[in-house]
């Protein structure tokens, strides 16, 4: 793996999978402090290649665009037209910068008005950002709310009046795209199983927040509130990612958002596309 890709946010990236075109649409970047109180991840000795020149872990905020002919699905909606400076007192959250999603959609040949469905892995601000702006951006979209987040309110409920929710597991929201119960840093999270012509991609939300966790599934994410249960789900997810004809999408994975997991030693390793 090119180490420099681990220390920078991702540019737009696209892959073809059967009848689907799948693209990462960047909205911006977020920095995470390498917090180390147990059980937070990771133990940074020997992992310096994952930290940028200010000693921070680089992550992304953005969306996954899935296109099937003229139809377009967006999974998550970035942070929105906002920037938040680093809070020196916060144990792990650094600066967050959004604002790039509309322009990157345009670079990929799509307008916000082309999006007919917006689905969410969960309803944190860095996931529903552009879905809550005024005036509304996704004026034709139906909004799909995760099952365990149906009671959560985005910043502008009026923008989400057309929502479908709560979203049951295995619900097909788009051709070839089904919802998965996929706990991440909290138990009530949703992932997405995307399949076409014998190949599948698992968009796993915050179930994995760094490629390091592919090799070290015992390392919890910085927000993890149920570390024992989420580790069990993380190990199951990694097993699924090592299966043939399976790809993964990790929003937080710096500039290696698309990849495969391959057996490596006693565990697995992330092989970016």
Q: In terms of DSSP H, where are the helices of 72-161?
A: 101-107, 125-128
pLDDT in tens, 161-214: 555 555 666 778 999 999 887 755 554 468 999 999 999 999 998 889 899 889
**Cα–Cα distance measured from residue 238 to residue 223, given in angstroms and rounded to the nearest whole number:** 19
Q: Strand 190-196 and strand 177-181: pairing?
A: antiparallel
Q: Tell which wins on pLDDT, 213 or 226.
A: 213
| Residue 117 clears pLDDT 80, i.e. is over it | yes
pLDDT in tens, 7-56: 999 999 999 999 999 999 999 999 988 765 434 444 566 678 888 998 88
- Among 102-106, 154-158, 172-176, 180-184, the minimum mean pLDDT is found in 154-158
pLDDT at 38 (0 to 100): 38
The torsion angle over the Cα atoms of residues 204, 208, 210 and 213, rounded to 10 degrees, is -130
pLDDT at 62 (0 to 100): 98
**Cα–Cα distance measured from residue 92 to residue 136, given in angstroms and rounded to the nearest whole number:** 32
pLDDT at 39 (0 to 100): 44
| Residue 226 clears pLDDT 70, i.e. is over it | no
pLDDT at 144 (0 to 100): 86
Q: What is the mean pLDDT of residues 51-76?
A: 95
| Residue 255 clears pLDDT 60, i.e. is over it | yes
Q: In terms of DSSP H, where are the helices of the chain?
A: 101-107, 125-128, 212-215, 227-241
**Cα–Cα distance measured from residue 180 to residue 101, given in angstroms and rounded to the nearest whole number:** 25
Q: What is the mean pLDDT of residues 69-74?
A: 97
């Amino acid at each position: 793996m090119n180490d420099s890709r681990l220390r920078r946010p991702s540019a737009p990236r696209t892959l073809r999978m059967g009848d689907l075109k799948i693209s990462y649409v960047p909205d911006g970047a977020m920095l995470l402090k390498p917090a180390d109180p147990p059980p937070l991840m990771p133990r940074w000795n020997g992992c310096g290649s994952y930290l940028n020149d200010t000693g921070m872990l680089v992550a992304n905020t953005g969306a996954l665009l899935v296109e099937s002919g003229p139809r377009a699905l967006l999974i998550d909606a970035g942070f929105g037209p906002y920037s938040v400076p680093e809070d020196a007192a916060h144990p792990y959250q650094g600066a967050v910068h959004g604002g790039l999603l509309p322009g990157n959609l345009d670079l990929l040949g799509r307008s916000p008005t082309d999006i007919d469905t917006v689905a969410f892995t969960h309803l944190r601000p860095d996931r529903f950002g552009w879905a809550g702006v005024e005036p509304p951006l996704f004026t034709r979209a139906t909004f799909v709310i995760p099952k365990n987040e149906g009671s959560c309110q985005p910043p502008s409920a009026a923008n989400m009046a057309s929502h479908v929710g709560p979203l049951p597991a295995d619900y097909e929201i788009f051709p070839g795209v089904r919802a998965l119960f996929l706990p991440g840093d909290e138990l009530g999270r949703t992932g997405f199983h995307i399949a076409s012509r014998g190949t599948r991609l698992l968009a796993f939300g915050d179930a994995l927040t760094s490629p390091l966790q592919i090799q070290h599934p015992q390392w919890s994410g910085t927000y993890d509130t149920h570390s024992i249960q989420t580790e069990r789900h993380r190990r199951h997810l990694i097993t699924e990612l090592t299966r043939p004809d399976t790809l993964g999408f990790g929003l937080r994975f710096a500039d290696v958002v698309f990849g495969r997991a391959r057996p490596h030693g006693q565990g697995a390793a992330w092989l970016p596309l």
